[in-house]
Structure 1
Amino acid sequence: MYYQITNLKQNCLVYIQHLQNIKRSIFAFLFCLPTSLLALILFLLLFYNGFTVFYVHLPFPSNPQPEPANFSQANLAGNSLKKLPSSVMYAVKEDTPPVILKTLLPLLQNPAISMTPINHSVVFKPKKTHRYKAVKRMLRSGDNSKQFSTRIRDFFGNHGCKVRFFMTWISSLNSFGDRELFAIESLFKSHPNACLVIVSNSMDSESGGLVLKPFFDKGFKLIAIKPDFDHIFKDTHAEKWFNGLKKGNVSPGEVSLGQNMSNLLRLALLYKFGGIYMDADVIVLKRLTKLRNAIGAQTIDLETGNWSRLNNAVLIFDKKHPLLFKFIEEFALTFNGDKWGHNGPYLVSRVVSRVNGRPEFNFTVLPPSAFYPVNWSRIRSLFRGPRDEFHSKWLHKKLEQIKSESFAVHLWNKQSRKIEVESGSIINQIMLDCCVLCNSSSSSL
């Protein structure tokens, strides 16, 4: 009996020991299970990560992606690119997206996209396409202007043009309005025997002739001529720059190419012929013939009294003046079509700051009152009529100051074009003094 009890007790202990072993095994399994799953997941992620990286960079064969209806591989590699102007091709290179770091490659949802050719017609926005078409037209404009040299030589020779004025007009004929016409009026009011050359594609037309007819009828000497860029830029640094633009080696940039071409044209015209250049929104108040080799400051440093920025809206220089040579050289070497003013006011400021004081450059920097008596931010004040007695006195004093100190007034067209001329304003008084036709509507100036 004792033996049976002892045997049963031993069996129970063995059974309990087995249960404890099973329990420990279960807990050990449960404890290890999450780590195994995590390891498995990490292994799968690492495998997927390595697969995606090699899939992007190694030339594994892949299924072709569906193409849009207007996409053609043949056109992309062949004829469609030949039809685009070279400047467009250069812009495509400039717009290439930045390189994606390898550490970011696993985040791509569809690695095969990187292997798909770019459809250039989709990349360009309609606005950019329109701008490059305008560039193409501008570059081709010289094809129809080969008579430029003959016409301008005959014009100067037949009229004995001792005083030569130049304007450039790169906009449409419709935008040549009362303000531009009054600028011409003021020019001939102060210089009745001067000759004016308007370099413009739109103005050199039958319709442009009708716009200028009132001046022809008055006997004033002026002509509108399409520019021959090749002839005007020949034998200057501008020649190489322009050839690069035509070949697509120079990017026209985001700023209007017409504006930058105007910046260059005025320099080249004065360098080739000598004379006075003025923007079409500059009102001439008195004779400029006493000035020689002069450029005007736009702003001055109030602490030092020295100029802080020049402007190129009015330029007066002799033929082949060395400063003009430096201006053109700077344009060609540092052209940037993405920064407003870089090739215009900032350009002349950069060059003059470098050559100022050197004896071989003989020129004068005039104070802001000469051509820019009011800065662009305050131009509206010249168009306003008197509000009260105090304002009326200020207007009278300002007008007398302008008449005394200024040769011309730059109207800063972009800021003031839509501002109406109010009765009794400074501009209203200037119009009464400077008109020769005197039939323009002051409200639309």
Structure 2
Amino acid sequence: MRWKEIPCNYSMPNTLFHAKKENNFPIFSILSPPLNKGIFLLETSGRNYLNPKELCALESAAKNNPNRQIYYLLTNIELKVYPALNSLLDTYFNINVVGIELSSFFLRTPMEYLWFHNKIQNSKHKVSHLSDVLRFLIIATYGGTYLDSDIIVLKEFPTHFNFAGVEHVEKPFVVAVGIFHFSKNHTIINRCVNHMAKNFNGDSWSHNGPFLMTNTVKNICNFETMEEINNSNCYEIKLLSPEECYPIYYKDWEFYFNPLKNDHVRRSLKDSYIAHLWGKFSSDVPINKNTTLFELANNNCPIVAKNYL
């Protein structure tokens, strides 16, 4: 079974980074996220709506973190409202779906040059790279938790320590950027922002994301492994193990959609904060009603599942 389509014929923006003054929902710059407590998701393709999988990520974050404010930021500030989104807004008072005016947001930040000289807009992976730039800059500016949109949140996130999730422990050691939490202006996140501002690479998909986070953590902590970094209490960061964030490796993403792998998926996720669905590979794959993934959606994003599964 596929997620059903959004039941409206919405116009798409003419440009990727669309902005218009006549918006019908809040602009992020006028909001004041709670210091170090917000949870942030991003839609950077220019769409004016959230698709069902993105809505599931939003609902599961709100449901499992009831004492925190969830912010879904869209670069298209003309959001179209539809019944499922209204249901979420009526049910979860910690959900904020807002627009972000990019030129205003990047002004007087380390990323100002990249934006106003079209380095991001002209990159080969502009949607992903805009997301990379925004996720680092937002967390450096406000503190809090960044969360990818191809995720189902399974339990409440910690807030009493800084963390990032390790995707792969063995060589090549990879600190991923699908979920991370830092306090405002934390040394590691600031170092990522400043390095990206000076060394942005528009040709490489991973250079401005996991490659940047991995190298920053290794260089600033002067260690090469998760165990060494965690034992050193380097800048009060804890690296979460793959079992806690990415228990289904990206090469095994199809396990989520295969009923024969249900037991394996359940065992793998028992200690994890999230189910990361690896949307780069799975975005168009239908969800079988007999899978653990179907069960996860119904348990963690029940309103979205009721409307779209």
Structure 1 position 269 matched with structure 2 position 148:
no
Match of 1:195 in 2: 69
Following superposition, the deviation at residue 149 of structure 1 comes to: 5.8
- How has the CA–CA distance of structure 1 residues 298 and 355 changed in structure 2, closer, same or farther, with 3 Å as cutoff? same
CA distance in 2: counterparts of 1:291 and 1:422, whole angstroms: 37
SS at 1:186's partner residue? helix
Q: Which runs of 5+ in 2 are unaligned?
A: 1-13, 223-231
Structure 1 position 185 matched with structure 2 position 70:
no
Structure 1 position 420 matched with structure 2 position 286:
yes
Match of 1:241 in 2: 114
Following superposition, the deviation at residue 298 of structure 1 comes to: 1.1
Query: Larger strand proportion, structure 1 or 2?
Result: 2
Structure 2 counterparts to residues 28-427 of structure 1, below 5 A: 134=15, 138=17, 141=19, 148=27, 151-153=30-32, 156=33, 163-173=37-47, 176-202=50-76, 204-208=77-81, 212-245=85-118, 250=119, 252-290=121-159, 292-301=161-170, 308-357=173-222, 361-386=235-260, 395-403=262-270, 405-427=271-293
CA distance in 2: counterparts of 1:429 and 1:261, whole angstroms: 33
Following superposition, the deviation at residue 435 of structure 1 comes to: 2.5
Letter in 2 for 1:266: R
Following superposition, the deviation at residue 164 of structure 1 comes to: 1.2
Letter in 2 for 1:368: P
Following superposition, the deviation at residue 169 of structure 1 comes to: 0.3
CA distance in 2: counterparts of 1:171 and 1:230, whole angstroms: 16
Note if contact 1:188-1:436 (Cα within 8 Å) is conserved in structure 2. Answer: no
What is the TM-score with the length of structure 2 in the denominator?
0.81
Note if contact 1:270-1:276 (Cα within 8 Å) is conserved in structure 2. Answer: yes
Letter in 1 for 2:285: I
- How has the CA–CA distance of structure 1 residues 325 and 144 changed in structure 2, closer, same or farther, with 3 Å as cutoff? farther
Q: Which piece of structure 1 moves more, 222-231 or 268-277?
A: 222-231
Letter in 2 for 1:188: A
Following superposition, the deviation at residue 219 of structure 1 comes to: 3.9
CA distance in 1: counterparts of 2:164 and 2:218, whole angstroms: 13
SS at 2:208's partner residue? coil
Letter in 2 for 1:227: I
Q: Which runs of 5+ in 1 are unaligned?
A: 1-132
CA distance in 2: counterparts of 1:234 and 1:360, whole angstroms: 32
Higher relative contact order (CA 8 A, sep 6+): 2
Aligned length: 284
- How has the CA–CA distance of structure 1 residues 231 and 428 changed in structure 2, closer, same or farther, with 3 Å as cutoff? same
Following superposition, the deviation at residue 271 of structure 1 comes to: 1.1
Match of 2:11 in 1: none
Following superposition, the deviation at residue 406 of structure 1 comes to: 0.5
- How has the CA–CA distance of structure 1 residues 206 and 169 changed in structure 2, closer, same or farther, with 3 Å as cutoff? closer
- How has the CA–CA distance of structure 1 residues 373 and 221 changed in structure 2, closer, same or farther, with 3 Å as cutoff? same
Q: Which has the larger radius of gyration?
A: 1
Letter in 2 for 1:370: E
Cα deviation 1:70-107 (Å, max 9, x = unaligned): xxxxxxxxxxxxxxxxxxxxxxxxxxxxxxxxxxxxxx
- RMSD over aligned Cα atoms: 2.9
CA distance in 1: counterparts of 2:308 and 2:82, whole angstroms: 21
CA distance in 2: counterparts of 1:167 and 1:190, whole angstroms: 15
CA distance in 1: counterparts of 2:48 and 2:115, whole angstroms: 28
- How has the CA–CA distance of structure 1 residues 175 and 251 changed in structure 2, closer, same or farther, with 3 Å as cutoff? closer
SS at 2:196's partner residue? helix
State, as a whole percentage, how many aligned pairs show the same letter. Answer: 21
Query: Larger helix proportion, structure 1 or 2?
Result: 1
Following superposition, the deviation at residue 195 of structure 1 comes to: 1.3
- How has the CA–CA distance of structure 1 residues 326 and 208 changed in structure 2, closer, same or farther, with 3 Å as cutoff? farther
- How has the CA–CA distance of structure 1 residues 148 and 178 changed in structure 2, closer, same or farther, with 3 Å as cutoff? closer
SS at 2:44's partner residue? coil
CA distance in 1: counterparts of 2:29 and 2:142, whole angstroms: 13
CA distance in 2: counterparts of 1:176 and 1:251, whole angstroms: 22
Following superposition, the deviation at residue 264 of structure 1 comes to: 0.7
CA distance in 2: counterparts of 1:423 and 1:254, whole angstroms: 39
CA distance in 1: counterparts of 2:45 and 2:155, whole angstroms: 27
Letter in 2 for 1:187: A
Cα deviation 1:310-339 (Å, max 9, x = unaligned): 211111111111111101111111111111
Note if contact 2:147-2:178 (Cα within 8 Å) is conserved in structure 1. Answer: yes
What is the TM-score with the length of structure 1 in the denominator?
0.57
CA distance in 2: counterparts of 1:371 and 1:351, whole angstroms: 20
- How has the CA–CA distance of structure 1 residues 398 and 223 changed in structure 2, closer, same or farther, with 3 Å as cutoff? closer
Letter in 1 for 2:266: L
